[in-house]
Each structure stands twice: as structure tokens, then as C-alpha cells.
Amino acid sequence: MNLTSPEFENNANLKVKFTCEGLGVNPELNISGIPEKAKSLVLIVDDPDAVYGIFIHWVVFDIPLTNQIGENSVPGKQGSNDGGGFNYVSPCPPSGKHRYFFKAYALDSFLNLEEGISKQDLLSAMEPHILDYAELIGLYKKSFNIPQ
């Protein structure tokens, strides 16, 4: 399976449009090579460079099979993020350049879980159903830093 975006290359800078300094919307993502036995997709976006550990930006599950997740869209049920809600939290590092991991999983079933589930509970529930995985890393450093 392969995860790409027409908006940024792997390990390259995200466009400001997709960050807190821009519109703060999710970028378009393209998924290819989805296994034939797949029934649903999961998308998790997180930042391992956050000050207090991994910051969860977006958790989406029970996504019907598709080769494209559109810009500024909600393709499935949303889990909880570390911003205190469910929607996409745009990159906004307080200092330095951070890495944003966009991770797509192909599952052999729909999970039929309630919206708002935590990333950890989702990972536990989906573990026996994962058929394939792909990731895309975007980088971002704000043009200004928040004083500490």
C-alpha cells in the first residue's frame, strides 16, 4: 500500500495552508495498492516531536474504501485528538521543525466503534484486522515561535 499527497512529498515541508498559520485544513491524501480483502481504512495523524510526547492530530476510522481522502474532508468516524476534540488539528509547533506522520491502515472489516474513541483503544481494536499500512511524513516549522 502507498500513501501520497499532491500537496507535499514524503519528508518535505507541508504547505502553510494546512497549518495553524493558514486555513488549518487536512491535505488531500491518495492511497494506492489497497489489498483486495480490505473492507475499510483508518487514518491517524500524529506528531512524535511534541514537547510532552506524541501529539495526536487526527484519528479517523471506518473509512469506506477509497483511493482519495479529499482536502478539508471527514472521510469516516472520528476518534479523539489531543486538542480536546475530534476534528483535524492542524500542525502548530511551538518551536522548531516537527514531523507529522500521516498513517493509513487497510482493515479486513469495519470496526463499528463509537466516535470519540482514543487512538490507543482504536489501535487495540484494529490490531487483529490490519492487512496493510502506509505512511507519509510532512514537516513543518512556524514562521514565528510562541514565547515559552
pTM recorded for the entire structure? 0.95
Superfamily (CATH) of domain 2-140: PEBP-like (3.90.280.10)
Burial 57-79 (b: 16+ CB within 10 A, else e): bbbbbbbeeeeebebeeebbbbb
- Domain residue spans of the chain: 2-140
HSE, side-chain direction, 13 A CA sphere, residue 53 = 1
Percentage, residues of the chain above pLDDT 70: 97
Q: What is the mean pLDDT of the chain?
A: 96
Contact (Cβ atoms closer than 8 angstroms) between residue 104 and residue 134:
yes
Mean pLDDT over 103-113 rounds to 98
Three cell numbers, residue 139: 514537516
Q: What's at 73, amino acid-wise?
A: S
Quick one: pLDDT at residue 43?
Answer: 98
Counting Cβ atoms within 10 Å, is residue 8 exposed (0-12), middle (13-18) or buried (19+)? buried
